[in-house]
A and B are shown apart, each in its own frame.
Chain A
Amino acid sequence: MGKHHQNLLNNLEDLRKKAGLTQQELSEAAEVSRKSINAIENGIYVPSTVLSLKIARTLKCKVEDLFKLP
């Protein structure tokens, strides 16, 4: 688990690295800015449902694998 937002635990950094993607590559696949990915990984920002699903689709995992409620 990476750094967390107070309302959301996230596992994005680990899963992204396991998929062998950089933040830039993931951001391009999910159609957002790299800083959005960075903000999510560092627990600064809670993504929308659409963005969460796009990230999960890119990393070939479930949204529940990426994010959990604290």
Chain B
Amino acid sequence: MTYFKRFLIVFICGIVQIFYAAYLLLHLFGYSIDWHISNHDVFMFIPGILVFVSSGILCASYYLGDKKNNNILYDEYTALRYYKIAAAGYALNGIGIFVLFSIQDWANWDFQSANNMIYQIAAFAWLTFGVLLTIFSIGDYKEYKNG
């Protein structure tokens, strides 16, 4: 594993999450867009599969990779930045879920509304962590090059 490979892995995860989350949120909130994903059932799994595979690659490199290299790649300063990203993500998601709860039409509540709300929450979480991962990956790589 190198800084550049980690940048690519995290950046691609983040961008794909943003793309799918933005698409899903637009769709759920009724903003009509001319372009549609042809098969929702299959393609909506792509961000999840990417995160799963990427996490696997990063975990494998951490536990099985070159120790000297990993001391640098996964040092405590990088870990602190990950913790901060995760904390920011959870805080933003908490606010987002509160807002999504608040805007529901509780007077006419039905299974379709509940289903939609679950999708809204999922899409918002994808969007939040997608943005944070993208920002992190760019900052991490820039720091490596110049910081």
Nearest Cβ on chain A to B84's Cβ, whole angstroms = 11
State whether A33 touches B68 (Cβ < 8 A).
no
Checking B71, B72, B80, B147 against A38 with a beta-carbon cut-off of 8 angstroms, the contacting residue is B147
Q: How far is the CA of A35 from the CA of B80 in the complex (A)?
A: 13
How many interface residues does A have (CB within 8 Å)? 14
Checking A28, A31, A32 against B77 with a beta-carbon cut-off of 8 angstroms, the contacting residue is A32
State whether A33 touches B80 (Cβ < 8 A).
no
| 1/0 contact string of B67-111 vs chain A (CB within 8 Å) | 010011101111010000000000000000000000000000000
Q: How far is the CA of A48 from the CA of B75 in the complex (A)?
A: 11
Kindly report which residue of chain B lies nearest to residue A48, judged by CB atoms: B76
Q: How far is the CA of A47 from the CA of B80 in the complex (A)?
A: 10
Checking B68, B71, B77 against A39 with a beta-carbon cut-off of 8 angstroms, the contacting residue is B77
Determine the chain B residues whose CB is within 8 A of the CB of A32 once the complex forms.
Answer: 71-72, 75-77
State whether B71 touches A31 (Cβ < 8 A).
yes
State whether B144 touches A36 (Cβ < 8 A).
no
State whether A45 touches B80 (Cβ < 8 A).
yes
Say if the beta carbon of A51 comes within 8 Å of chain B. Answer: yes
Q: How far is the CA of A33 from the CA of B68 in the complex (A)?
A: 11
Nearest Cβ on chain B to A36's Cβ, whole angstroms = 4
Q: How far is the CA of A51 from the CA of B68 in the complex (A)?
A: 15
Determine the chain B residues whose CB is within 8 A of the CB of A31 once the complex forms.
Answer: 68, 71-72, 75
Determine the chain A residues whose CB is within 8 A of the CB of B75 once the complex forms.
Answer: 31-33, 36
Nearest Cβ on chain A to B6's Cβ, whole angstroms = 12
CB contact under 8 A between A51 and B76, given known A35-B144, A35-B147, A38-B147 = yes
State whether B71 touches A36 (Cβ < 8 A).
no
Q: What are 5 sample pairs from A and B whose C-beta atoms fall under 8 A apart?
A: A32-B76, A33-B78, A34-B72, A36-B75, A45-B77
14 more A-B contacts (CB under 8 A) besides A27-B72, A32-B77?
A31-B72, A31-B75, A32-B71, A32-B75, A32-B76, A33-B73, A33-B78, A33-B144, A36-B75, A36-B76, A36-B77, A36-B78, A45-B80, A51-B76
